[in-house]
Amino acid sequence: MPDARLTAQLPHTLDATDFPTLGQKYRGKVRDTYLKGDRLVLITTDRLSAFDHILTTLPFKGDLLNTLAHFWFQKTAHVVKNHVLDMPDPCVIVGRRADAFKVEFVVRAFLTGSLWRDYEAGRDPYGLSLPAGMKKDQKFEKPILTPATKAPIGEHDEPLTEQAVVTQGLMSARDFARTREAALGLFDEGQRHTTANGVLLVDTKYEFGLVGSELVVIDEMHTPDCSRFWIADGSLERFQRGEAQLMLDKENLRQWLLQERGFSGQGTPPPIPDEVRVMLAEKYLTAFERITGTSFALEVGDVRARIEKSLKGLL
């Protein structure tokens, strides 16, 4: 049974913020970002998106995602620097403004998700030339990089080859090379830690930018929104039997939409029932606690009022 506090928090989920004194606001799919000078205040809301649509909110999602991202930023700072200056609230990160690259770096350790759908259909949008005869959820010999454009809300990210990134002027060859190295290094660090805690980091998305000439990782890292996580125990046996993996990430919602509502992004999204919202929040909570090895304090109440109190010195 899900924790009763997840259900109790449903009326209090944070769907939007409005703090004009923090600076100029940009509303993303999940985060409300405020810019003032070189300071960013990133507030992770409880909004939930899938198939490029904002669909609903999840109880405690902002708290869990932001706190987990902060955990990873701290844990990987020796691999590549990040934009974080402070975390004044479970939902909030104060960071340095970076000139973000217009490319997302997706690192994959298994043939699954959109890459499997491309492979099954005979498409090779990343120029990978994968060997014939691979199976769904098969592990690669080593992680691979599949870059994509960063599309505006409501539009689809477009796959890119490394050559296309450079020839289209999205990044210089030098910046791409060092960012590729950083992404693979972060993924390796993430895999080592999650595997030791019984979770497989299947794939993930990174975003990078420059502060001056310094490369930094921005946005979020290794969360159930930007990553796939599978329960490690029995994973190989499930693959060998052709069974679905046990997932601790947003893919649970995508599969529910596909299988229960026949929705894959076209047309008007269906409403998300409360029991599905609570089920997914439970997955996010489990991922957080398994990965960090700590329990998360679920405090039912008004998230917006709490954030306002936490940011009193910045407002």
Q: Reply yes or no on whether the pLDDT at 315 is more than 80.
A: no
For residue 279, what pLDDT is reported?
A: 96
Percentage of residues in the chain having pLDDT higher than 70: 98
State the residue for tokens 């999205």: 170
Same structural domain, 93 and 115: no
Residue 285 falls inside a structural domain? yes
For residue 1, what pLDDT is reported?
A: 72
Residue 91 falls inside a structural domain? yes
Residues contacting residue 250 through CB under 8 Å, at least 6 positions apart: 48, 50, 224, 225, 280
Q: What is the pLDDT of residues 32-67, one digit of tens each?
A: 999 999 999 999 999 999 988 999 999 999 999 999
> Cα–Cα distance between 223 and 74 in angstroms, integer?
14
Same structural domain, 145 and 180: yes
Same structural domain, 131 and 157: yes
Q: How many domains does the chain have?
A: 2
Mean pLDDT of 84-109: 97
One-letter amino acid of 243? E
H-run or E-run covering 118: helix 113-120
Q: Reply yes or no on whether the pLDDT at 155 is more than 70.
A: no
* 3-state class (DSSP) for residue 7: helix
Pairing assessment for the beta strands 138-149 and 99-100 based on DSSP bridges: unpaired
Instruction: Report, in angstroms and rounded to the nearest whole number, the Rg of the chain calculated over CA atoms.
Output: 19
Mean pLDDT of 21-28: 95
CATH number at residue 138: 3.30.470.20
Same structural domain, 90 and 104: no
Same structural domain, 107 and 87: no
Same structural domain, 210 and 127: yes
The tokens for 121 are 């259909």
Same structural domain, 8 and 107: no
Beta partners for residue 103, in sequence order: 149
Q: Reply yes or no on whether the pLDDT at 195 is more than 70.
A: yes
The tokens for 182 are 């950083």
Full domain range(s) for residue 23: 4-98+274-310
For residue 294, what pLDDT is reported?
A: 96
> Cα–Cα distance between 108 and 135 in angstroms, integer?
15
Is the Cα dihedral 136, 139, 144, 145 positive or negative?
positive
Same structural domain, 136 and 214: yes
Q: Reply yes or no on whether the pLDDT at 305 is more than 80.
A: yes
For residue 109, what pLDDT is reported?
A: 98
H-run or E-run covering 290: helix 274-292
For residue 150, what pLDDT is reported?
A: 80
For residue 151, what pLDDT is reported?
A: 67
Same structural domain, 68 and 56: yes
Dihedral Cα 30, 34, 39, 43, nearest 10 deg: -40
Most distant pair of Cα atoms in the chain: their distance: 58
Same structural domain, 78 and 50: yes
For residue 156, what pLDDT is reported?
A: 67
List the beta strands (DSSP E) in the chain. 24-27, 31-36, 39-44, 47-50, 53-57, 81-82, 84-89, 92-96, 99-100, 103-111, 138-149, 199-211, 214-218, 227-231
Query: C-alpha angle with apex 257: 151 to 46, nearest 5 degrees?
Result: 60
Mean pLDDT of 161-168: 93
Q: What is the pLDDT of residues 268-298, one digit of tens each?
A: 999 999 999 999 999 999 999 999 999 999 9
Residue 233 falls inside a structural domain? no
Residue 264 falls inside a structural domain? no
